[in-house]
Amino acid sequence: MSSESLLLPPGARLVHIGPHKTGSTAIQVALQEAQAELEPHGVHYSTGRRHRPDKAGWALGIKGRPAGSKRPPMWHWKALVADVAEAGEQRVCISNEDFGRATRPQIRTMVDAFGADRVHVVAVARRLDRYLPSQWQERVKAGDRRAFDDWLRVVLDRDDDFDWDRQNVWFAHDTAQLVKRWVKVVGEERFTLIVSDESDRQLLPGTFEGLLGLPAGTLRPNPSRSNRGLSWAETELVRAINVGAAEQGLSRTQRRTFVKQGVLKDMQARPTPEGLKNPPFPDWALETLRSLSERRIEAIRAMGVRVVGDPEAMRIPDDVPVTAGPVEPPGVSGDVAAAAVLAVMQLAVKADPAEGAADATADPDDAADADAGEDDE
């Protein structure tokens, strides 16, 4: 699809809704760093001091705020709306992956606030065998103790649509339902779905450049500003820390704090270790994912929205690692393990014992923080 056919009219409000784990941070950082280059082309990136207007969405009640934090005051949302309005006839981009979690009433509020006749929505669909391991990793970083196999059994259990973990995975990544929620408000003609192709790193920035009327190469992802994903071995180390901390009576919120403020800072500052990035899929799970992916491809082909990319890119390839039984996870090097233990010990000394009551299940509204600080895998 050419840039000319993608180009939105002057004054359009491009609302990027993610969803999470689809490379949103890379686009947001690129937009933020290129702000001085955007204005001469009649484009404005509307955000706060960070690379995305996260507090604005949380103030509106959209899930995604850090566990245990209070809902931000509404002035964050009002400030974003005012900034968009002040852009006048410039094309404006607003990008927040939490918007993919918006309910129908929240969608209507956002669209009306940004200008119902100006809003165009863009979302990204990612292959399920790449998304699910990344999401499991985020859950572990947020304090989850379950092994990949156990977590998959919950999120792929089609008989329990009311389980919070299942909803957290599929509410934004059931592509057909995500598109349906938004087109009910904005219409099919104002929705663009990008089918992610991880072999084409220019697809995402190039599509945004085309939509906004920017010269090729304006949006340049900055790897130094995105936390690298963990390896399978590193994720298992974090999970082991979660298990041990829970046995000592630490709450999920405390476990998340220990991991995020201590363990991850050292771990992600090191080079990515060799070995498997993700655990192999159990054979039963891969069969389910192939079926889900086939239905997803059919749904994308039947959509009346603009699709950028090939729906076939959603098909799971034959070479995805798979196992017929339990697999022993790899270990990390001694220095990485020692640094992780030291970080936990240092934070434990500072912890308030009064906050240490174990909570086997987190409050769903607070637990939705799992994707804060997403990596761009």
Q: What residue spans define the domains of the chain? A: 3-127+170-227+289-314, 232-276+326-356
Q: From 351, 328, 14, 6, select the one nearest 148 (Cα to Cα).
A: 328
pLDDT greater than 70 at residue 198? yes
What sections of 248-363 are H helices per DSSP? 252-258, 264-269, 283-302, 334-350
The pLDDT tens digits for 35-54 are 999 999 999 999 988 899 99
pLDDT on residue 1: 55
Q: Is the distance from CB of 55 to CB of 76 less than 8 angstroms?
A: yes
Reply yes or no on domain 3-127+170-227+289-314 having CATH 1.20.120: no
pLDDT on residue 324: 83
pLDDT greater than 90 at residue 15? yes
Type of residue numbered 60: L
Compute CA distances 199 → 105, 313, 375, 377, whole Å. Answer: 37, 10, 17, 12
pLDDT greater than 60 at residue 277? yes
pLDDT on residue 327: 81
Beta strand residue intervals within the chain, DSSP E = 13-16, 43-45, 91-95, 119-125, 191-195, 281-282, 306-308, 322-323
Three-state secondary-structure class, residue 295: helix
- 59 CB-side CA count, 13 A: 15
